[in-house]
Structure 1
Amino acid sequence: MPTLWEKIRRIVGDYARANKAALKHVARCVAVIVLLATALEVFVFNINYFTSAGYNTIDLTSKLDLQQTHDGEKTQYRLTEVDHVIEFSNLNTEVRNIRLDFDFAQPAQALQVKIQFTDQAHHTYFDSTEYTVGVPETTVSTFVDQSEYINLNTTGLVDNLRIEIVGDNVQYPILLDGITVNAHHPFDFNVTRYLIALGILALVCVFRPKSSIYRCFIVEQPRRSKAIIIGTVVIEVYLMATFLFFGSNLVGVATQSYNFGAWDGTSIVNTFEVGGDNAQQYAELAKAMAKGQLYLDEEPPQWLQDMDDPYDKGARDEAQKVTGEPYLFDVAYHDGRYYVYFGVVPVLLFYLPFYLLTGANFPTAIGVLIACIAFVLGCSALLDRFARYHFKRVSLGLYLLLQIPLVFCCGVLYLLKFPTFYSLPIMLGLAFSVWGLYFWMRGRASGSPCKWYLAGSLCMALVAGCRPQLLALSLLAFPLFWRLFITKRHLLTPRGAREFACLVAPYLVVAAGLMWYNYARFGSPTNFGANYNLTVNDMTKRGFSFGRLAPAFFTYFLQPPSITGVFPFIQAAPFETTYMGQTIKEVTFGGILACLPILWILPFSKRILKMRIAQRSTRTIAGVIIVLISAGVLVALLDAQMAGILQRYYADFSFMFLAAAVLLAFIVNENLDQGSTKRNVLMKVLIALVSISLVYSLLVCFVPETGWYSDVYPWAYQSVIETAQFWT
């Protein structure tokens, strides 16, 4: 009797023999990709190593006129607050680069360095003028060796050279081991950059227009397509988790090798608070609920309780200055108590059980990651459901080409960049929404739909306890169920009545619970407490203003991205408005219609929907697309009216537009013959649009922002810049 290992060998051997040609092709592709990635890393990304190989290195350390310290036989030079300028005269030599060799053992920091020189084109030091730009300041990290090599573009021989440490947040003294010009740049095989190059080349190979992945149809080859889809989802989840944990200052978990400064020294993993007092609202609410109360334990200061209008931020700030007593910001204040106005479902799902079990605060970032994983899984399953049961000619290549931007371009990456309690309700609301829609779709095709309807409606109803704006996705029930329950009068049958009850009952139960929760706190079943928020404006008097709609529509949808020539190339978009009132605005990076070219299919919606309607007697898909687009516009404008214009709010509505664009692309694909010129053009255009959309979404993730990794650990973030800007 053959052993298990022998059976496996036989199965693998049979598969290899049956697919010999295909496996040879894959092996050749892998070999080419590896060779290209290796060549890029060695010869392109290490260009400075080759260009500096012939430099005549000059050590200027002996000419340094700085304080000296001696550590055994090693001499170090001290840059201090008084003496932080290095100047050399009469060099009379070519200077191609400078190496500032900072002591690696000193406290790490990112230093802003200003370099000036005189050469054959400049007999005096020069700076920026009205018509020219001088030598820009550059960042050197004492922690990142590659940043210590600074390339200069001089003309002829350099005579004088001046190096100054500038900036206000410098920790002196700074220890310098030496300084050289025309240094030989070391060879640096960057594994991260190499793997990124491998991944990009692999994507180019897989999604090239003539790839066999476009000849593998989901309906015809279900097992193979499902296996590849699952593998893709695993990779996506891994990349998202890696990015979240990269921003370690916001994660809130520590081990011996991760966030070790907050490690307790004994546990395998321990949690700790991140983000300041304002970020602990959910954790504090869990503690309060454990004691049977719905308000936070912290007592508001007496001056806040005595104020006629505690929601006026200017008046609060003045009172705080006078008394010296702080107050909690961005919480709901009502009747002398602090409350949390954010959705309560994350507390019941994560924080309260975790606190009851461990006595510790649940790490918010882990909740965001769990919700993100659930969203990716649900989104992929939902899209597979549409592709497999509502379209006949969706290839695996088209599915993946559209699934990737649906997942990565909908604002989720920005929520992972800032995995705070602000992001958790949005992320969880999205996860519940896609799973709710998936269960509804399963129920529509099931012989026993009640359990699917119950599960779907429960998920959709729980969105109200996370992010009420996302309840707009519940409007999809109309195109999904109208024909069955209304047109066919299924609702009037006993079975139809039971099924309809399963659709409605979860909404009623969840609504009853939330209404009780609201009434117990604020005396109103419909008041979630957002209008009692102690924030930058008086929410009790915010009201509705048509003047806010135009700037919000432009910012959320139409504003082009602001681009520079320095990594990460995207920067905050400017904001101007003629609205003569207070606008709540944080940094944003452009409107989705301008920055996500995959959405450029939306203006053709009417024409594409006519194609679908001409093909099918039912209007389900057309109705779904119309509701998605309408709901997306509605949610975006409601966000602007209720709260303002913020980058994380893009996640409230971007998914709706992306989902509509995906379904429209499916319709167009359905109407084109396999191998036709029009279809080939469509695939090439889609590849280009998706690529640009992905690049934009990924670059936004690395824009330096207050509170993120780049702000807290700028000396470490410099390694990311050096990895990308290999030519500097």
Structure 2
Amino acid sequence: MPTLRNNIAYACGRVRDAHGRSLAHALRVAAVIVAVALLLEVFVFNFNYFASAGYHPINLKSRITLPYDKDDDLFRLTTVDHVMEFSDLNTEVHNIRIDFDSDQPAQNLQIKVQFTDEAHQTYFDSTEYTVGVPVTDVSTMSTQSEYLNLNTAGYVDNLRIEVVGEDTRYPIKLWTVSLNAHHPFDFNVTRFAWTAGILALVYLFRPRSGIYRINIVENPRRSKAGIVVAVAVELALVSSFLFYGSNLVGVATSSYNYGSWDGKSIVNVYETGGENAQQYAELARAMAKGQLYLDEEPPDWLKAMDDPYDKGARDEAQKETGEPYLFDVAYHDGHYYVYFGVVPVLLFYLPFYLLTGLSFPTAIGVLIAALAFVLGCSALLDRFARYHFKSVSLGLYLLLQVPLVFCSGILYLVKFPTFYSLPIMCGLAFSVWGLYCWMRGRLSRHACAWYLGGSLCMALVAGCRPQLLVLSLLAFPLFWRTYITQRRLFSPAGAREFACLVAPYLVVAAGIMGYNYARFGSPTDFGANYNLTVNDMTKRGMNVGRLAPAFFAYFLQPPCVTGVFPFIQPEPFATTYLGQTIREVTFGGILACLPVLWVLAFSRRILALRYRQRATRTIWGVIVVLLASGVVVALLDAEMAGILQRYFADFSFMFLAATVLLLFIANENLAPGTVARDLLMKVLIVLVALSVLYSGLLCFVPETGWYSDIYPWAFQDVIEMVQFWT
């Protein structure tokens, strides 16, 4: 009888015989990628180490005139004395090292450097036609940021270093200041890993890659294995990014968010985002007691107001009385209510509270929904590629799945995993899984079960993000031919299937309408108009003048870029609409910033190809509904609430999904190996790369409330990692 060792040896031999050459090739490619990444990390990203190796350092410690503490051998910059000036240096200055003591409260310091050289006899600054030495950030906890490369004209005579910024916390401890310091060698493991990953993607998606020869239909095992690996990597990236923004996560351990750890539990939860961010948790507590309004009692002055929805009047009353009120909640009939969709409360918060007595961490809910969305998108796309098209390759699938996931706006929701993001993320997750179940049911012998599950998911969207209910309109192109044109609806089996499609909507609608009636006395009143927000929603109404600025901001606004990481900047906003516009920071319209969507310009020609190929117009109808729904949702968002970056997730998926289907059609109509097919793939690779690059950089734009704002001294390490040349 063979031993376990013999069985293992036999299995390894089978694999070696069948895939030996492929494995050897993969190992060689991996070795080359690692070697190139290693060379780049050592010789390119550590450019400053080699450039400064021949410098002659000059320690200016003896010339510093700041207050000095002999006991700890440190200088101190204070509110009064925070300028260092050195005269008559008469030497070349290639860089400055400002050596701050790391054993002090961490903070980012804004440093203004000025100097005189052979081209400037006096300190120079920005003028109408020139830009002086910019203020730069130096972290007391980042050694790399302490080295400042100067670009001077000849010898430097005088040097002035000043700490500026109103938010600086003094005193600041300083060891010394050095000129022409040797930049330390820094092997950044994170940068090395990202470099290797990017090189691997470049190799994997190159035009002549083997993944474009793996047909999904003809090679189901290899294609599924590739998809599983890709999705696993995406799930890991999404999870890592969410936990990177630790200040918004609400979960603490002995090594993560240590300041909020209770000191005894393996993991504990805590509240983040302030009092306003606890609405879902407060509603769960209220529901546990059998009530639908929040426990907190509104102040008497709010109850006495003739118009409590006028923010200016509310703020004046709050100043006079000193009694605060809850912001961004629905106020009706003397009680606070939550107007956001109730499904996330029933799904996460209420069960968690009943089991633990604690508030569910919102960020974990956003993460669960985001991962469900990634899985649902991948399954839905696989369904279309495998059963409705014949020539989709693994390469094309992955090339389209990546932007469908990462350019749909979910990364911004993960960046800010708050209760604002949770209902949108849940609505998207339910939508893609609902569509997947519908697609499975269309070709399944057990259609009723799939239709029930799909319609339940689609109906639950109403309790998350009602705007996304427009995706339910896809039922018309998906089922019209079967149940109306072919009259299957009038058969017993068809009637049962149709009932399964409709019944979940009726049940969920009854529940939500009952919930609305119990709160506001109307089954169709979700409470959004009673919101205590920055404008009076009861009088906002609909105004056509708001549509043009919104359409431009959501679709056509070009990205605003600079030469400093993360390169993308907030967009300027101007409008001729002479009324109140509700707007938060945005970063460009999707048609301008996501080049992969430029395929939509050829929609008519591509759809004509599909129509000549098949007499049915199902795909045609799906694409038209997606595009029309996307425009309607974007404009409704602007009319009802305003122009906000997180609202891009309401409609971006619709345009991306339509683009994916169009590209599937184009691929189907181009023979492999032709010039047109090769050109399509090369152009598509570029368009996808630019779209994903934009979406990735958007993740790291510094914003109020995010990691870069709460821990700017730590975020400085990310900047230094990317801007290795500074």
TM-score by length of 1: 0.99
Residue of structure 1 in register with 2:63 after alignment: 63
User: Following TM superposition, by how much is the alpha carbon of 1:351 offset from its aligned partner in structure 2, in angstroms?
Assistant: 0.2
Report what 2:347 is aligned to: 349
**1:461-518 per-position Cα deviation (integer Å, ceiling 9, x unaligned):** 0000000000010000001000000000000111111110000000000000000000
Match of 1:83 among 81, 84, 109: 81
Offset at 1:521?
0.1
Question: 1:580-595 to 2 correspondence within 5 Å?
Answer: 580-595=578-593
Equivalent position of 1:483 in the other structure: 481
Q: What secondary structure sits across from 2:76 in the alignment? A: strand
Which one-letter code corresponds to 1:597 in the other structure? P
Q: Report matched runs for 1:341-490 at 5 Å.
A: 341-490=339-488
Distance 1:5 1:548, change over 3 A: farther
Residue in 2 that maps onto 1:513: 511
**Structure 1, residues 493-547: CA drift from partner, whole Å, max 9, x if none?**
1111111000000000000000000000000000000000000000001101000
**Where does the alignment leave 5 or more consecutive residues of structure 1 unmatched?**
none
CA positional deviation for 1:10: 2.1
Question: Aligned equivalents of 1:6 and 1:556: distance in 2?
Answer: 63
Letter of the structure 2 residue corresponding to residue 66 of structure 1: L
1:323 to 321, 324, 333: 321
Displacement of 1:620: 1.1
Residue matched to 2:220: 222
What is the match of residue 311 of structure 1?
Answer: 309
Deviation at 1:186, TM superposition (A): 0.3
2:47 is aligned with 1:47 = yes
Query: Could you give the per-residue CA deviations for residues 327-379 of structure 1, whole angstroms, max 9, x where no partner exists?
Result: 00000000000000000000000000000000110000000000001000011
Give the equivalent residue in structure 2 for 1:292.
290
The one-letter code matched in structure 2 to 1:720 is V
1:10 and 1:668 mapped to 2: Cα distance? 46
Deviation at 1:5, TM superposition (A): 4.9
Number of residue pairs matched?
A: 726
> 5 Å matches for 1:562-573?
562-573=560-571
Which contiguous aligned blocks of 4+ residues in structure 1 show a shift greater than 4 angstroms?
none
Report the equivalent of 2:17: 17
**Partner of 2:32 in structure 1?**
32
- Quote the residue 2:205 is aligned against: 207
Give the counterpart of 2:722 among 721, 724, 727: 724
Distance apart, 1:65 and its partner CA: 0.5
Superposed, which structure 2 residues align to 1:142-153 within 5 Å? 142-153=140-151
Counterpart-to-counterpart distance in 1, 2:8 and 2:467: 52
Following superposition, the deviation at residue 62 of structure 1 comes to 1.1
CA–CA distance in structure 2, aligned partners of residues 559 and 9 of structure 1:
61
Q: What's 2:260 paired with? A: 262
Alignment partner, residue 646 of structure 1? 644
Query: Hey, what's the Cα distance between the residues in 2 that align with 1:8 and 1:205?
Result: 32
SS of aligned partner of 2:70: strand
Three-state SS of the structure 2 residue aligned to 1:228 is helix
SS at match of 1:19: helix
* One-letter identity of the residue aligned with 2:57: T
- Going from structure 1 to structure 2, the CA distance change for 1:164 and 1:633 (only over 3 Å counts) comes to same
Deviation at 1:701, TM superposition (A): 0.6
Equivalent-residue separation in structure 1 for 2:258 and 2:149 (angstroms): 35
SS for the counterpart of 2:88 is coil
* Cα shift at 1:7: 2.7
Q: Deviations over 1:47-88 (max 9, x none)?
A: 0000000001000011110111134xx510000000000000
Structure 1 Cα separation of the partners of residues 725 and 507 of structure 2: 60
| Aligned residue identity for 2:624 | I
CA shift at 1:18, angstroms? 1.8
Cα deviation, 1:429-472, whole Å, max 9, x if unaligned, reads: 00000000000000000012000000000000000000000001
Deviation at 1:9, TM superposition (A): 3.4
Q: Partner of 1:133 in structure 2?
A: 131
State the Cα distance separating 1:12 from its structure 2 match: 2.7
Q: How does 1:510-589 map to 2 (within 5 A)?
A: 510-589=508-587
Report the residue type matching 1:10 in the other structure.
Y
Task: Give distance in 1, aligned partners of 2:5 and 2:568.
Answer: 53
Distance in 1 between residues matched to 2:482 and 2:2, nearest whole Å? 54
SS in 2 for 1:278: helix
Q: Determine which of 578, 601, 604 is the counterpart of 1:603.
A: 601
Offset of residue 20 of structure 1: 2.5
CA displacement 1:269-315 (0-9 Å, x = unmatched): 00000000000000000000000000000000000000000000000
2:623 to 608, 618, 625: 625
Measured against aligned partners, the alpha-carbon deviations of 1:312-331 in whole angstroms (never above 9, x if no partner) come to: 00000010010010000000
Partner of 1:181: 179
Q: Deviations over 1:549-592 (max 9, x none)?
A: 10000000000000000000000011100111000000000000
Aligned to 2:680: 682
Question: Partners in 2 of 1:392 and 1:12 — Cα distance?
Answer: 34
CA distance in 2, matches of 1:506, 1:387: 28
Distance 2:279 2:670 in 1: 53
Supply the AA of the counterpart residue of 1:649: Y
Secondary structure in 1 matching 2:137: strand
Partner of 2:170: 172
In structure 2, how many angstroms separate the alpha carbons of the residues matched to 1:13 and 1:710? 52
Query: What is the distance in 2 between the residues matched to 1:649 and 1:599?
Result: 18
Partner of 2:280: 282
Shift of 1:19: 2.1
Q: Distance in 2 between matches of 1:325 and 1:178?
A: 50
Query: 1:4: Cα distance to partner?
Result: 4.3
Q: Does 1:696 align with 2:694?
A: yes
Distance 1:395 1:213 in 2: 7
Cα distance in 1 for partners of 2:173, 2:124 equals: 28
Counterparts of 1:578 and 1:603, CA distance in 2:
28
Shift of 1:26: 1.3
Cα deviation digits, residues 209-242 of structure 1 (max 9, x gap)? 0000000010001011111101111100100100
Task: Describe the SS at the equivalent of 2:373.
Answer: helix
SS of match in other structure, 1:87: strand
Displacement of 1:46 in angstroms is: 0.4
Amino acid at match of 1:58: I
Greater shift, 22-31 or 569-578, is seen at 22-31
Amino acid at match of 1:7: N
1:646-681 deviations in Å (ceiling 9; x for gaps): 000000000000000001000000011111111111
* TM-score normalised by structure 2 residue count: 0.99
Q: 1: CA distance between counterparts of 2:8 and 2:520?
A: 64
Seen in structure 2, the aligned counterparts of structure 1 residues 280 and 5 have a Cα distance that, compared at 3 Å, is: farther
Q: Find the aligned partners of 1:720 and 1:526 in 2 and give their Cα distance.
A: 48
Q: Quote the Cα distance in structure 1 between the aligned partners of 2:699 and 2:560.
A: 15
Deviation at residue 621 of structure 1 after TM alignment: 1.1
Q: Distance in 1 between matches of 2:4 and 2:466?
A: 53
Hey, what's the Cα distance between the residues in 1 that align with 2:413 and 2:509? 27
One-letter amino acid of the structure 1 residue matched with residue 458 of structure 2: M
Q: SS of 2:170's equivalent?
A: coil
Residues 70-114 of structure 1 show CA distances to partners (whole Å, capped at 9, x for unaligned) of 34xx51000000000000000000000000110001000000000
**Counterpart residue number, 1:668:** 666
Deviations 1:375-394 (A, max 9, x none): 00011000000000000000
CA distance in 2, matches of 1:45, 1:622: 49
CA distance in structure 2 between the partners assigned to 1:526 and 1:5 by the alignment: 68
Name the counterpart of 1:637.
Answer: 635
The one-letter code sitting in structure 2 at the alignment partner of 1:613 is Y
